[in-house]
Amino acid sequence: MNSEPAGLGERGSKLFRELTKGEKNPLVIQTVIEAARAADRLDDLDRAIQGQGVLDLMRATIEDMEKFPEKIEIKLSFSGVLMEGRQQQDNFRKLLAEVSRLKASTAAKEDKTPQPAETPKEDSSVESELDRRRKAREARKSG
């Protein structure tokens, strides 16, 4: 079992577990980690868009208010959140497509077991059909 990286949220953790079950290819695992992180970022962005919270990256603290006797005004704006959300959705989609491609490539490599040589099929080309008819005609003439 692959160990889950620290810091993943609920959605990222679930995605990581689902996509790395029995996976041995390190490229797949690393791509899944990035997809899991992108999934968590999308959830953070969605909460911000819905006004339910701000991104965990934003922290503002004033430790000693006595140094600021006058009123302090802090303004935060989220004008790029929707655009960032669309970019993260596209990034997430591409990462999942890459995971799928890598898994398919790994599966194809594992399935490349030597196959028995195929028995040659009867030639059904136009030349062989003409040759067969010619031989039948010659047999009738000589018979």
For range 89-96, the mean pLDDT: 94
Report which of 114, 109, 105, 92 is spatially closest to residue 37, judged by C-alpha positions: 92
Kindly state the helix (H) or strand (E) to which residue 130 belongs, with its residue range: helix 126-142
Answer yes or no: are the C-beta atoms of 5 and 33 closer than 8 Å: yes
Q: Which tens digit of pLDDT belongs to each residue from 63-92?
A: 666 666 676 676 666 567 788 888 999 999
Whole-number Cα distances in Å, 21 to 40, 59, 124: 19, 36, 48
How many other CB atoms are found less than 10 A from the CB of residue 20? 20
Tokens of 33: 């980690």
DSSP state of 70: S
Convert the pLDDT of each residue in 44-54 to its tens digit. Answer: 888 877 777 65
The percent of residues in the chain predicted with pLDDT above 90, rounded, is 41
Query: Looking at residue 13, what is its pLDDT?
Result: 97
pTM over cut 0.75: no
**Higher pLDDT among residues 7 and 67, named by residue:** 7
Mean pLDDT of the chain: 80
What is the distance between the alpha carbons of residues 42 and 38, in angstroms, rounded to a whole number? 6
Within 10 angstroms of residue 12's Cβ, the number of other Cβ atoms is 23
Question: What confidence tier does 32 reach under pLDDT thresholds 50, 70, 90?
Answer: very high
**Residue 132: pLDDT band with limits 50, 70, 90:** confident
> Can you give the pLDDT at residue 138?
86
